[in-house]
Structure 1
Amino acid sequence: MVMSMRTKPKPTSNRGDLGLLLLRAGVGGVLFAHGAQKLFGWFGGHGLEGTRQAMEQMGFEPGRESALAAGAAEAGGGTLLALGLATPAAGAAVAGTMAGAVSVHAPAGFFVTEGGYEYPAFLGFVATCLSVAGPGRYSLDHLLGHRLNRPWTMAAAFAVSAAAAAVVLRRRAGRLGGGPEEAAPPGAGEVPSPPT
Structure 2
Amino acid sequence: MAHLSRKDLGLLAMRLGTSGVLFAHGTQKLFGWFGGHGIEGTAKGMESMGFWPGKPAAIAAGAGEAGGGLLLALGLATPVAGAAAAGAMAGAVAVHRKAGFFATAGGYEYPAYLGFMAACLGLAGPGRLSLDQLTRHRLNRPPLMLLAFAASTVGAFLIVNQREKALNEQALEAELQ
Letter in structure 2 aligned against 1:126: M
Structure 1 residue 73 corresponds to structure 2 residue 64 = yes
Structure 1 residue 26 corresponds to structure 2 residue 17 = yes
- The structure that has the greater radius of gyration is 1
Instruction: Name the counterpart of 2:8.
Output: 17
Instruction: Name the counterpart of 1:100.
Output: 91
Letter in structure 2 aligned against 1:113: T
Letter in structure 2 aligned against 1:102: V
Q: After the TM superposition, which segments of 4 or more aligned residues of structure 1 sit over 3 Å from their partners? A: none
Instruction: Name the counterpart of 1:159.
Output: 150
- Structure 2 contact 4–128 (Cα < 8 Å) conserved: no
Instruction: Name the counterpart of 1:8.
Output: none
**Partners of 2:102 and 2:58 in 1: CA distance:** 24
CA shift, 1:170, in A, is 1.4
> What is the CA deviation profile of residues 83-130 of structure 1, one whole-angstrom value per residue up to 9, with x for unaligned ones?
000000000001111111101000000000000000000001001110
Instruction: Name the counterpart of 2:175.
Output: none
> What is the CA deviation profile of residues 11-44 of structure 1, one whole-angstrom value per residue up to 9, with x for unaligned ones?
x752110111111011111110000100111101
**Partners of 2:133 and 2:31 in 1: CA distance:** 31
The one of 122, 132, 151 equivalent to 1:131 is: 122
Q: Which has the higher contact order (CA 8 A, sep 6+)?
A: 1
Instruction: Name the counterpart of 1:144.
Output: 135
**Partners of 2:169 and 2:69 in 1: CA distance:** 32
Structure 1 residue 44 corresponds to structure 2 residue 29 = no
Letter in structure 2 aligned against 1:109: G
Letter in structure 2 aligned against 1:141: D
What RMSD over aligned residues (CA atoms) do the two structures have, in Å?
1.4
If the length of structure 2 is used for normalisation, what is the TM-score? 0.92
Q: How many residues align?
A: 169
Instruction: Name the counterpart of 2:174.
Output: none
Structure 1 residue 170 corresponds to structure 2 residue 149 = no
The one of 121, 142, 153 equivalent to 2:112 is: 121
- Structure 1 contact 173–179 (Cα < 8 Å) conserved: no
